[in-house]
Amino acid sequence: MRDGLTAGKSATINVIVTPDMFASFEGKLIHPVYSTVSMVYHMEWVSRQIILPFLEDHEEGMGGAVTVKHIAPCIEGAEVLITATVTDVHANTIITNVKAECRGRLVGVGEVKQVILPKTKITELLTGS
């Protein structure tokens, strides 16, 4: 991993809630609002944005853990602002605190753990060799 990734680094993404982000299971709509599944995806994605500039060619990041508290709904067409901030860098492990805001209110909070590994190690883990 390249030098420079430290606590305090942050990244933000904006998403507009669309029907493919609605809460549904097995193709059945539960609620026409921003789903927890979509929130987790976006929290991981914004956290990944932080590490990308620091990965060396032989490295890749893998998700190690995600914790999320989905606090409030967000309707179709609304903009969700998701921000991740690095709170800890320890060896090859990066922790970010993440928040999601919609229309000026907090709709979700969480933490994402990413582990930076050599691509060869990831291949070994996936293939068992």
Q: What pLDDT digit, counting tens, does each position of 7-34 carry?
A: 999 999 999 999 999 999 999 999 999 9
For residue 115, tell me if it sits in a domain: yes
Residue pLDDT, tens place only, 49-73: 999 999 999 999 999 999 999 999 9
Segment 93-109, tens digit of pLDDT: 999 999 999 999 999 99
Q: Is residue 3 part of a domain?
A: no
**Residue 102 domain-assigned (yes or no):** yes
- Can you read off the two tokens belonging to residue 86? 């690095």
State the residue range of the domain holding 76.
Answer: 10-127
**pLDDT score at 128:** 85
Domain contains 1: no
Name the nearest CA neighbour of 71 among 41, 109, 103, 33: 109
- CATH number for the domain spanning 29: value is 3.10.129.10
Residue 5 lies in a domain: no
Which among 67, 74, 79, 68 is positioned nearest to 31, based on CA atoms?
74
Residues 6+ apart with CB under 8 A from 89: 5, 6, 7, 95
Distances (CA, A) of 61 to 87, 100, 122: 17, 22, 9
- Per-residue exposure over 77-115, b if at least 16 CB sit within 10 Å of its own CB, e if not: eeebbbbbbbeebeeeebbbbbbbbbeeeebbbbbbbbb
Q: Into how many domains does the chain fold?
A: 1
